[in-house]
Amino acid sequence: MLEKAEKQRKAPAAQEQALGYMPGFGNDFETESLPGALPQGQNSPQKCEYGLYAEQLSGSPFTAPRGTNERSWLYRIRPSVRHTGRFKKIDYPHWKTAPHIAEHSLALGQLRWSPLPTPAKTLDFLEGIRTMTTAGDVLTQSGMAAHAYAFNADMVDDYFFNADGELLIVPQTGAIRVFTELGKMDVEPSEICLVPRGTMFKVTLLGKEEVWRGYICENYGAKFTLPDRGPIGANCLANPRDFKTPVAAFEDKETPCRVHVKWCGSFHVTEIGHSPLDVVAWHGNYSPYKYDLKTFSPVGAILFDHPDPSIFTVLTAPSGEEGTANVDFVIFPPRWLVAEHTFRPPWYHRNIMSEFMGLIHGRYDAKEEGFVPGGMSLHNMMLPHGPDSTGFEKASNGELKPVKLENTMAFMFETRFPQQLTKFAAELETLQDNYIDCWAGLERKFDGTPGIK
């Protein structure tokens, strides 16, 4: 018996070696980090191998239709009830939840920010999250929040789960390790990862940086899924095999640890004497994943005109109303521009959906300057926007030969709900007061006479 316990304690070193991933989106996966840990032929044996506890993690109602039914079976050192003791309320003052109509003096407008300032003190991932906007209502499981983060310290004995929604994490500077109950993901800028609602995890730093910065979409609604491709057919855009789910990995640690929980906008912490990341094996289809945005295969205009940005949807979270996303995650990746007799950048527009954008690297084709990597912009419901004056002049007068748009990766969280600005966002020192001046040069050309002006 003792010998077996000894063996078990040594085992984690072996599973430290390489991070492994399983390809596919929404697949039914199975994975074990110790041989024989995963029961075969049933979910709930009378006794599990290695003395593990069996536990189901449900990401959909039990009775959801097959296509949206998601759950995983976890085989762990202790059941999750032992990873929560008595909770104490705590405060994460910068992490806000919808509905949240903040008091601030900023009037309506198109808004743009330079990156979050580098933290002046030590902050871990949880402490480094700053909510920029909230939308919808967490209590009805609809809407989302757009957060930016900047942090510089590991979560060591601190763990977190979010009952309010899944977290789509978009690193912009600095690679991170996201160690979840179901396994570890190393995620670098230009990759994204998703931590499902309710999944325990911690985030640590990879490499050397001054700051680790990025964006998060907290989706309170139905889970992100792949958009239908319609007439595009069976391939291109985000291909399922490029989504990578981690293999099982666990931490066998008996030290004082804290589990932090976000639940309906409030935060709670509980102290335990061990790591909650103790899942030795699991199977199922409710699981985290990462995705490299460089593997997105864009389909676009090959003759004329600028299509709607929905052609670049990586993931969509439906709202229940057809074609009206709770939130879409859309990217603007490198691509060829070949459209003839066309104004190639985004057109001027107003949109019932609300657009929060970030820039991962390079330059965005609608903005010649001011929208910098790590920066953010908000074009809220029905507020007009489009290329700045310099971009308009260039695109209206440039020679329309095939041009490869390179060195660019922007993204958008686009929601059906108006996005409410937080006080933090309204008062952030990196808010660009002069943003709207980027359109000031768009002067009247019309003089009542026909002809191209």
Q: Residue of minimal CB distance from ligand OMD?
A: 346
Cβ closest to ligand OMD, residue 87 vs residue 343: 343
Residue 412 binds what, of Fe ion, ligand OMD, none (CB under 5 to 8 Å, by partner type)? ligand OMD
Binders in 76-105 for ligand OMD, by CB under 6 A: none
Could you tell me which stretch among 73-81, 106-114, 222-230, 345-353 binds ligand OMD (CB under 6 A)? Answer: 345-353
Binders in 340-369 for Fe ion, by CB under 5 A: 355
Active-site option among 94, 268, 306, 361? 306
Cβ closest to ligand OMD, residue 308 vs residue 437: 308
End-to-end alpha carbon distance in the chain? 87
Distance from C-alpha of 351 to C-alpha of 438, rounded to nearest angstrom: 19
Near ligand OMD by CB under 6 A: residue from 315, 385, 408, 415: 385
CB of 36 to ligand OMD, least distance (A): 51
Near ligand OMD by CB under 6 A: residue from 379, 392, 428, 438: 379
Cβ closest to Fe ion, residue 37 vs residue 376: 376
DSSP conformation class of 235: S
Tell me: does residue 309 bind ligand OMD (CB under 6 A): yes
Identify the three-state secondary structure at position 64.
Answer: coil
CB of 353 to ligand OMD, least distance (A): 8
Tell me: does residue 346 bind ligand OMD (CB under 6 A): yes
Point out which residues pair with 322 in neighbouring strands: none
CA angle 338–343–349, rounded 5-degree value: 125
Cβ closest to Fe ion, residue 382 vs residue 440: 382
The reply to whether 147 belongs to the active site is no
Contact partners, residue 1, CB within 8 Å, separation at least 6: none
Near ligand OMD by CB under 6 A: residue from 145, 355, 372, 391: 355
Cβ closest to ligand OMD, residue 145 vs residue 366: 366
Lookup result for tokens 């004497």:
273
Q: Which backbone phi and psi does 426 adopt, to 5 degrees? A: -65, -30
Residues flagged as binding site for homogentisate: 385
Distance from C-alpha of 209 to C-alpha of 191, rounded to nearest angstrom: 17
Which of 91, 99, 100 minimizes the C-alpha distance to 424?
100
Distance from C-alpha of 432 to C-alpha of 60, rounded to nearest angstrom: 41
Contact partners, residue 23, CB within 8 Å, separation at least 6: 240, 241, 242, 243, 244, 245
CB of 349 to Fe ion, least distance (A): 6
Near ligand OMD by CB under 6 A: residue from 167, 366, 372, 428: 366
Residues flagged as binding site: 385
For every residue of 329-358, which 3-state class applies, written as one string? EEEECCEEECCECCCCCCCCECCCCEEEEE
Q: Which two tokens stand for residue 440?
A: 């000031």
Cβ closest to ligand OMD, residue 294 vs residue 349: 349
CB of 119 to ligand OMD, least distance (A): 29
The footprint of ligand OMD on this chain (CB under 6 A) covers a number of residues equal to: 9
Distance from C-alpha of 82 to C-alpha of 436, rounded to nearest angstrom: 53
Binders in 407-446 for ligand OMD, by CB under 6 A: 412
Point out which residues pair with 185 in neighbouring strands: 178
Q: Which residues are the active-site residues?
A: 306
Query: What does the binding site for Fe ion look like in residue numbers (CB under 5 A)?
Result: 355
